[in-house]
Copies of this chain bind each other. A is one copy, B any other.
Amino acid sequence: MSEPRQVKLKPGDTIGILGGGQLGRMLAMAAARLGLRCRVFSPDPDSPAFDVVLNATCAEYADVEALELFAGDVDVITYEFENVPAASAMILAARRPVLPNRKILETTQDRLAEKDFIRQLGIGTADYADVSSAAALRAAIAKIGLPAVIKTRRFGYDGKGQTIIREGDDPEQIWADLGTKSAILEAFIPFEREISVIAARSADGQVECFDVTENEHSDHILKTSRVPAAISDALAAQARGVAEKIANALNYVGVLAVELFVVQGDGGPKILVNEIAPRVHNSGHWTLDGASISQFEQHIRAIAGWPLGKPVRHGQVTMTNLIGDEVNGYEQWLTVPGATVHLYGKGSPRPGRKMGHVTQVATGS
């Protein structure tokens, strides 16, 4: 993987952000705190990130002219989501540094390539198999066993594009329903807990990991994160080591999230990597209020060519997502002592839509 071009911003320089959701919004606010400007590119005129920057580009990701103008107005480019179209990233990268390196997207946009990459590093994952037909699905089930999870190789998130297969299910029907030509079958992991590590890496190889986070999902959507995770120090160190190894192997610049399962092994609990998100991550939102530096600031520092911070956690932290209608309870949350409320400025609270989050910090622990 080629070295990213050396970037060194100064206060007043401009960062281009692809994507206008809450992640882009919080990235832009972190950049502003450091005296850096942002320009946000998003096809959605109601993008929450537009509200916190002076300059925005509302255009499709395939709009070459808009991409070129955008690149001309910024000093470095980053993104809030991993599904940046490869062609768009290539157009931008020809004009300005894109960080993290766009080649990383090729690995993380494809569940199969991602799993292969992780395994090559000697890091454990669920057993998996490439599936490109109903027949291949039958063969994969025979190899991996049931229950198992079939996932599209591309463009899945929050449980979309995946189905559990159990004994008695009809592989032909499941394959037809999935409506894809490229999928991956993964062994179903009876995990004890789900954890994640948010790691930042600078261009000169400094890596800083936040404390390991324990995550609870509801309907495949993150509901609660707790820090520190209820695991041993040794296992936490191992999880951070895995994230560091991945970041180094990708020659990564910016923040990435590694989602892991804790499972019972022969000699006690062990970890398996579930997936990599090459971006700031919902399970790192607690860092905004629960640490001396946030994941958003670490990402901005990394892509600006500034030194990373050494995060100091303020206490035991709980982050609760406000999903769909739950956001209507914001006034109640405002009255909870020590709770910090974040609302993303999204219009309609559709079911499953992440509308905001709340952080609670218990100090002295």
Stretch touching chain B among A61-69, A214-222, A242-250, A327-335: A327-335
Q: Give the distance to chain B from A336, nearest Cβ to Cβ, in Å.
A: 9
Q: Give the distance to chain B from A39, nearest Cβ to Cβ, in Å.
A: 11
Tell me which residues across on chain B come within 8 A of A312, comparing CB atoms.
337-338, 361, 363
Tell me which residues across on chain B come within 8 A of A306, comparing CB atoms.
331, 334
Query: A309 within 8 Å of B by Cβ?
Result: yes
Query: A29 within 8 Å of B by Cβ?
Result: yes
Tell me which residues across on chain B come within 8 A of A156, comparing CB atoms.
none
Q: Give the distance to chain B from A325, nearest Cβ to Cβ, in Å.
A: 13
Query: A344 within 8 Å of B by Cβ?
Result: yes
Query: A241 within 8 Å of B by Cβ?
Result: no
Contact bitstring A208-227, B, C-beta under 8 A = 1, else 0: 00000000000000000000
Q: Give the distance to chain B from A309, nearest Cβ to Cβ, in Å.
A: 7
Q: Quick one: copies of this chain in the complex? A: 2
A341 to B309, CA, bound (A): 10
Query: A205 within 8 Å of B by Cβ?
Result: no
Instruction: Give A308-360 interface residues, CB cut-off 8 Å to B.
Output: 309-310, 312, 314-315, 327, 330-331, 334-335, 337-347, 356
Q: Give the distance to chain B from A153, nearest Cβ to Cβ, in Å.
A: 36
Are the CB atoms of A314 and B33 closer together than 8 Å? no
Are the CB atoms of A314 and B12 closer together than 8 Å? no
Instruction: Give A58-111 interface residues, CB cut-off 8 Å to B.
Output: none
Tell me which residues across on chain B come within 8 A of A50, comparing CB atoms.
54
Q: Give the distance to chain B from A269, nearest Cβ to Cβ, in Å.
A: 29
Query: A53 within 8 Å of B by Cβ?
Result: yes
Given contacts A29-B29, A309-B334, A314-B363, 4 further A-B contacts (CB under 8 A): A29-B33, A306-B334, A310-B338, A363-B363
Give 19 pairs: A residue, B residue, CB < 8 Å, sorted on A. Answer: A29-B29, A32-B51, A33-B342, A35-B356, A37-B51, A289-B292, A292-B337, A292-B339, A292-B340, A306-B334, A309-B334, A309-B335, A309-B339, A312-B338, A312-B363, A314-B314, A314-B315, A363-B363, A363-B364
Chain A residues proximal to chain B, CB less than 8 Å: 11-12, 25, 29, 32-37, 50-54, 56, 289, 292-293, 301, 306-307, 309-310, 312, 314-315, 327, 330-331, 334-335, 337-347, 356, 361, 363-364
